[in-house]
Amino acid sequence: MMYGAESLRLPSEERAAEYRAAGWWRDETFLDDLARAVDTRPDHPAIIAYRGDTAPRIISYRKLAELVERFAGALAALGVGRGDVVAMYLPNVWQITPLCLACNRIGAVSAAMFPALEEHDLRFTMTATRAPVCISIDRMDDMDVAARVAAAAPETVRHLVVIGADSTADAIDFTEYFLDTAHPTPDPALALRPDEVAALVSTSGTSGQMKAVAHTSNTLYAATRAGAEPYGLGPDDVIVTPHPHLHMAGMTYGALMPLQLNATWLMIYDRPYDVPLLLDTIERHSVTWAYMAPGFLVDMIAAQHERPRDVSSLQRIVSGSAPLQPDLIDSVRDTFQVPVHALWGMTENAAVTMTRPDDPADWATHSDGRPVPWMDIRIDAEEGEEAGRLLVRGASQCLGYLNQRDVYEACLEGDWFDTGDIARPDGRNGIRIVGRRSDLIIRADGLKVPVLLVEGLLAKHAGIKELALIGYPDPAVPGTELCCAVVVPDGTPPTLTELHDFLDRAGLTREFWPDRVQFVWQLPKNSVGKIQRTPLHRRLELAAEPR
């Protein structure tokens, strides 16, 4: 049994039977999807992987199956057993899919850690999961990634495996051990069953602490169907999402959905993401479906205007993580002649609602869509109010937070999960997200800033008496936010660079750092001393340019 499994909340036998009877859960896993593809289209591309503008690595379904067996043997040789966790801290590299499947092949669990996480968050995930093996990359840009992982790793990590040779870390070479060395083939009976935990996905810690969200093959299967079925996707589609493939959106719509469909996954590894290359590959490989946050859409429009490509193969773009503005949807339609659909979901349940092909053309600016058949939604509004708390339940809901059962159960009302969002009906049996009850800042790339965590770290700075982290409009991507630290200084006010250096030493993920700092004599508070953020928001809207 996986360490901490007792902290999870399994669905009742009656609920599981209901999901199976409706076809929302199944008695198969993604390994069966792979076997089916090997039988029916062994030479069809499963993965087309770019690293820079060089020739891509094209992996057929036959080759993917061979890699899964080889990687499973390597993991078993490292002592990974049934119920163990394999931590993965990787950018968008081709090894992700075969590694995740290899874990499932030997009854292990993959722990996905998206590459923005720094030491503070890495240590939390590896400690919480007690992973005996961690797989990373040697470098990203000028950063020794493997050395960062080694510094963060608790004693439970017995083996660090590194893709690439340019690192100072004492580690096992991935190519030598996983690709060039033959290991015994593991017993097929070890493979995970559909209702066992298959993946742990790290959240961005918006409540102040990271969480390892537990999903089974079946909850992930329901999640992939939510992206595919409303848009009629099938085995001939080519799918791309520029999000981190070890975060929920990238994992669901990149690593898993094409596999479940026996389709093709196009992936690009670049930091920062190479949007011109993305457009080139959409043209080159006839991409048909894409999922991306609004920030990527803005960059794609600019790159297409600078050098037009033939992207007529692209049939639909689905966007989530931040609101879509009418001007952006119009610009996408004018530039690419393709509709944009809105999607709403969370790491805990993946996609729950989305706009559909039969909705009005601009409906994504008014709605976050209707729920899929296997997810229920409920809006709890006060009497006389239209908007209220959004609760959900259904077949793609996770099993909870590893080793944080009390935190997960605090979000539950019976079997309903309180999302923390405020929604109203959209008039077409769907919802529109209108706010959040937590203080949340969502960047243009969809990354959520963990306000409480960042405030807690900055409060330890000697030059800060009090502070509040406030979101303000990102001028480049309307509907998303940048982050400002509003500070009451204690003595000499700290500069933004000093705050960045302080957070860097604390090991906080770079993407969570504030973009500006503003100083005030005091923070507005209510009668019980709680900071009132609305006046601060208004002040930022009227403030001068960032320092």
Give pLDDT, residue 204: 59
Better-predicted residue by pLDDT, 541 or 46: 46
pLDDT at 359 over 80: yes
Residues paired with residue 380 on neighbouring β-strands, in sequence order: 389
Give pLDDT, residue 435: 66
What's this model's pTM, rounded to 2 decimal places?
A: 0.84
Give pLDDT, residue 431: 94
Rounded to an integer, what distance in angstroms lies between the CA atom of residue 12 and that of residue 50?
43
Rounded to an integer, what distance in angstroms lies between the CA atom of residue 451 and that of residue 485?
10
- Which residue in 227, 204, 361, 226 sits closest to 292, CA to CA? 227
Give pLDDT, residue 528: 42
Collect all residues with Cβ–Cβ distance below 8 Å to 491 and sequence separation of at least 6: 462, 463
Helices (H), 22-161: 30-40, 61-77, 96-105, 119-129, 145-152
Q: What is the largest CA-CA distance in the chain?
A: 70
Give pLDDT, residue 107: 97
Give pLDDT, residue 477: 87
Report DSSP state, residue 164.
Answer: S
Give pLDDT, residue 272: 67
Local confidence band at 186 (pLDDT 50, 70, 90 cut-offs): very high
Q: Scan for tokens 């029916």, then name that residue.
A: 40
Give tens-digit pLDDT for 490-501: 899 999 999 999
CB atoms closer than 10 angstroms to residue 82: 18
Decide: 255 and 265 in contact? Cβ < 8 Å: yes
Local confidence band at 478 (pLDDT 50, 70, 90 cut-offs): confident
What value does the mean pLDDT take over residues 319-331? 82
pLDDT at 424 over 50: yes
Please state the domain extents for the chain. 28-424, 441-542
Rounded to an integer, what distance in angstroms lies between the CA atom of residue 472 and that of residue 467?
16
Local confidence band at 439 (pLDDT 50, 70, 90 cut-offs): low
Give pLDDT, residue 140: 86
CATH 3.30.300.30 is right for the domain spanning 441-542: yes
Which listed CATH number (1.10.8.60, 3.50.50.60, 3.40.50.300, 3.40.50.12780) goes with 28-424?
3.40.50.12780
Rounded to an integer, what distance in angstroms lies between the CA atom of residue 523 and that of residue 331?
40
What value does the mean pLDDT take over residues 195-211? 79
Rounded to an integer, what distance in angstroms lies between the CA atom of residue 308 and that of residue 310?
7
Give tens-digit pLDDT for 87-119: 999 999 999 999 999 999 999 999 998 777 777
